[in-house]
Structure formats: structure tokens, C-alpha cells
Amino acid sequence: MVNIETRIQLLNGHTDEPTKKMLHHLVERKKKLETYKNKCFQAQFITFILLMGFIVYLYAFIIKPTGGQLEVIFHILFDGTYHILVVLLIVGGYATAQFYKKKEEKAETEYHNLRCEVIRKSTELWPQPIQWEKRHEVFSMMKNEFDINLFHESK
């Protein structure tokens, strides 16, 4: 059995069970999107910090003391196993950020498609005039509680 969000479950007079499940799936997709956004940002941030640290290290401890002689710089860079390890960490961080960016884009597409489906099917989900009036309350609750805009299809 799907454990539906408490706030959605309390919409007894406003929606039927299939609509509640649809709204719950929408909330789950929104949370999934936010999770991937956070993971992508963290990977990008860590990669950026590693890259900046490595550039400062290169300048302060390798380029400046050697006077900018390329042969010496490359010799020092490729002799140190830690240098290669740091470069691999930076490349791995970049690849991780790209991985999470693709996951984020996919999750955003799924979320947006389901959100638009709820908006388009709102006349079927709230067919009675009394229910149609309560639809606004449901949409407002979704906006206030979960930051999901069901009033308009645009992102």
C-alpha cells in the first residue's frame, strides 16, 4: 500500500482516492527532482573547490618556484602520484555532476509532464460543480505545502 502524504490524505471531501494518489505521485516526483538538484549542486561545488585548490597549489608551489619553465612544471606534475590522483578526483567529480545533471533533467521532465497532466485532466478529476469549487482549495494547498503550481502549465 502506498503511504500517501498526510496533508493529501486529509482532502477527503475534496478529491477521490485516484486523484489523491496522482497528487501523491506528483509530490514524490517533486521530491525526487529536488534530491537530484541538491546532489548535482554538491558534486559541482566539490569539483569546483577541488579545481580551484589545485590551481592555487599549482601556481604557488610549482609554477612560481620553477619560474614558469614548462619542462620542469610537466616533470614535477607527472612525477607526483598525488597530482594524478587530484586530477582524477576532479575528473570524477565532473563526471558525477554530469550524471546527476542528466538524472535531474529526466526527473524534471517526469515531474512537469505529470503536473501538466493533472492540470489538463482537472475537469475529469473534479467533474461536479461542488467539487470544482473545492479544486481551488486543493491547488492552493499543493502550492503552499509542496510548492507545486497546478494553476498554470508553464514552468
Per-residue model confidence (pLDDT) at position 155: 65
Q: Does any domain span residue 52?
A: yes
pLDDT at 14: 74
Question: Which residues neighbour 20 within 8 Å (Cβ) at sequence distance 6 or greater?
Answer: 4, 8, 9, 11
The model's pTM: 0.85
Is 129 part of any domain? Answer: yes
Give 2-46 as a DSSP string.
Answer: ----HHHHT-TTT--HHHHHHHHHHHHHHHHHHHHHHHHHHHHHH
- Whether 15 is in a domain gets the answer no
Residue 40, exposed/middle/buried by CB under 10 A (0-12, 13-18, 19+)? buried
Please check whether residue 14 lies inside any domain of the structure.
Answer: no
Give the tens place of pLDDT for each residue, 95-130.
Answer: 999 999 999 999 999 999 999 999 999 888 888 777
**3 belongs to a structural domain:** no
Q: Which domain holds residue 30?
A: 20-146
User: Over the stretch 38-87, which tens digit does the pLDDT of each residue have?
Assistant: 999 999 999 999 999 999 999 999 899 988 888 888 888 888 789 999 99
Question: How many domains is the chain partitioned into structurally?
Answer: 1
pLDDT tens track for 44-58? 999 999 999 999 999
The answer to whether position 154 is within a domain reads no
The answer to whether 77 and 62 are in contact (CB under 8 A) is yes
Q: Could you tell me the three cell numbers for 118? A: 493533472
The answer to the question of residue 34 being in a domain is yes
Evaluate if residue 2 carries a pLDDT over 60. no
Residue 1 has pLDDT above 60, yes or no: no
Report the distance separating Cα 27 and Cα 8, nearest Å.
10
Q: DSSP string of 129-144?
A: HHHHHHHHHHHHHHHH
Average pLDDT on 143-151 reads 90
Q: What is the spatial distance between Cα 77 and Cα 83, in angstroms, rounded to a whole number?
A: 6
Q: For position 90, what pLDDT does the model report? A: 97
| Percentage of the chain lying above the pLDDT 90 cut | 51
> pLDDT band at residue 8, thresholds of 50, 70 and 90?
confident
In a domain, 120, yes or no: yes
Nearest to 55 by CA among 18, 31, 86: 86
